[in-house]
Amino acid sequence: DTEVTQTPKHLVMGMTNKKSLKCEQHMGHRAMYWYKQKAKKPPELMFVYSYEKLSINESVPSRFSPECPNSSLLNLHLHALQPEDSALYLCASSQESRGQSGYTFGSGTRLTVV
């Protein structure tokens, strides 16, 4: 299995809702990432998990809460989001923590906050 699977593919949520994005990989990769991508822009790093521990939080607002239940799963819990948080949220994994050999990205979750 050489894929990163993200669910759901599309999500529309109100500003008072709580929702979660899910990501799964079975490649034995030890690092997993959440990225946010706005239209016509490159991906922006949000969080890095290395060996199931949070290594980097790129000053992301607390309305985004990551969780790594085990080495194959990564969640992103969303609460009280703003319309400007609408974007494509990408999960990625890599064999090693520094991403030297590149990432495997999921297809993303297209999030719309209304």
Q: Which residues are at the interface with other proteins (CB under 8 A)?
A: 4, 6, 31, 40-43, 45, 48, 50, 55-56, 58, 88, 90, 92, 97-108, 110
| Nearest approach, Cβ of residue 72 and other proteins (Å) | 18
3-state secondary structure of 84: helix
| Nearest approach, Cβ of residue 14 and other proteins (Å) | 23
Compute CA distances 95 → 23, 54, 76, 110, whole Å: 16, 16, 21, 26
**Distance separating alpha carbons of residues 89 and 33, to the nearest angstrom:** 10
- Nearer to other proteins by C-beta: 11 or 90? 90
- Nearer to other proteins by C-beta: 60 or 80? 60
- Nearer to other proteins by C-beta: 50 or 65? 50
| Nearest approach, Cβ of residue 80 and other proteins (Å) | 26
- Nearer to other proteins by C-beta: 64 or 109? 109
The answer to whether 92 and 105 have CB atoms below 8 angstroms apart is: yes
Compute CA distances 94 → 11, 72, 88, whole Å: 26, 12, 20
